[in-house]
Structure 1
Amino acid sequence: MFGIAFTVIIIGLIVSAQALFPEDPVPCKFGDGKCIAKFVNSLFSRRSGEADPSLNLRRLDPLKVHRIVIEQPSDSGVGLTLNFTDNLMYGIKDLRVVGVKGFGKNLSEPHSLKMVGKTLSLVGPYKINGKVLILPISGSGNSNITMSNTKSVVRLSGQPLEKDGETYLDVTDLKLNMKAESISFQFANLFNGDKALGDNMNAFLNENSQAIYQETRAALERAFRGLFFGLIKGVFAHRPYAKLFQEE
């Protein structure tokens, strides 16, 4: 659920860290996965709290998430429409990149990022309607969805794009695989504020959290892919690919 957001953040960090000082040397050579991971992790640590004006970067934790829509077909075990608006994502400060592949001189080769996180929470207003396994669900209010001990791999692919005499990476596809050791749900004001029904539903959701996550996983990934794919393309379109890395 959160993996694509991480990818945008990571790539944005690498690009934006150079945006304010375009003549400064970039930190890593082409394809140096260990260096890229170390550099990004250092930026996470530096920006765990307030914004860092020296890097022209905004605050990461919490990260503002303006809108996400999750749509799951009604003929599935979990058929629902779930909207999140003006939410905050907590836990980015503890995210760590543990593996990087690609990002060499060949722009057509695949690129991947492997990441781990301790606790990641999406908190804020929601609206839900549909069914969860055999039970109907509806409501609107505030929610907290927390994933613990996450492992994710994001794969990007693209092709060279010539523009104004420079070569850019045109991102054409993005795939996400993410697993969480556990996930918890808390939806306030379910069933028009009926406390008994709401408490029972939240208990049911948490008792069946892994089954629900597996049922909705594809829909969650589609939602985040649609939300961030354009942003990732925009990041790479902002700066020629060769200027993101050191020459040998």
Structure 2
Amino acid sequence: SYVKVCKKNDPDYDGCLANLVENLRPRLLKGIPKLNIPPLEPFTLPALDVTRDMEAIKVRAHITNIVAHGPGDFILNNLKTDVDNLVAEGTVTLPHLEVTAEYDVEGRALVAPFKGKGLFAGNFTNVKIDAKGMGKVVKKNGEDYMQITDLKAKIKVGDSKIKLDVKDDKQGALAQSAASFFNQNRKQLLDIIMPIVQDTAEEISIQLGNRILGSAPMSELLPA
């Protein structure tokens, strides 16, 4: 087969899976079309819409051409699975992450209003992701397939720096002021923004995970 999968009855299934991920790294960087796995390096998303109205932050954002450099250097810190109940949890660290995107956004964070269109560039270091996912079995064309039903992620960022370039000169001062405000208060603002980032990461991961799991039946991905 294209990928040598781990057998369900392997006494060290978690270790086998961790080794499989490491062995697949070169192919993960380029993507594995047969399994619907997109390239990790860089990781791209065509568009993302975010709307939130909370006490500390109000935001409406349309983000396009998202490109992330750094996911390919992920470190799998730990992995724990319960294959019978289709539960998995683990921790991944991204030592560095550089994200660029085009944004059209308006809102406020703490007391700072922001509005504008332009280019976003973010530099993040030591991004730690703790995730736990649950799945179920679904029937498709008479065969069993796995599907992710729930996924929770907790993300911590070591340090960050952002830069905003605006398309509209009239909004330029406001965007620079917002970027400067973010960089000066980044720890506090990351705490406020993180639930939005986590929600978005969970949604994307479930969609992506289910596309991958839908590419092959359970008998191939989780053989006895």
Same fold (TM over 0.5): yes
Distance 1:222 1:176 in 2: 8
> Are the structure 2 counterparts of residues 244 and 113 from structure 1 closer, same or farther at C-alpha, using a change threshold of 3 Å?
same
Equivalence for 1:96:
75
Is the contact between residue 36 and residue 211 of structure 2 (CA under 8 Å) also seen in structure 1?
no
Q: Give 1:146-225 correspondences, 5 Å limit.
A: 146-189=123-166, 192-225=169-202
1:123-159 CA-to-partner distances (Å, cap 9, x unmatched) read 0211110112101101111101222101112211122
Higher relative contact order (CA 8 A, sep 6+): 1
Equivalence for 1:42:
23
Q: Give 1:26-175 correspondences, 5 Å limit.
A: 26-30=4-8, 32-48=13-29, 59-73=39-53, 75-102=54-81, 104=83, 106=84, 108-175=85-152
Distance 2:112 2:48 in 1: 23
Where 1:72 maps in the other structure, the secondary structure is: strand
Higher strand share: 2
Where 1:59 maps in the other structure, the secondary structure is: coil
> Are the structure 2 counterparts of residues 219 and 100 from structure 1 closer, same or farther at C-alpha, using a change threshold of 3 Å?
same
Identical aligned residues as a percent: 19
1:89-146 CA-to-partner distances (Å, cap 9, x unmatched) read 1101211222111152x1x342113211111122021111011210110111110122
Distance 1:110 1:56 in 2: 21
Q: CA deviation at 1:244?
A: 1.4
Count how many residue pairs are aligned between Structure 1 and Structure 2.
221
Q: What is the aligned-residue RMSD (CA, Å)?
A: 2.8
TM-score (norm 1): 0.77
Q: Is there any run of 5+ residues in structure 1 with no aligned partner, and where? A: 1-17
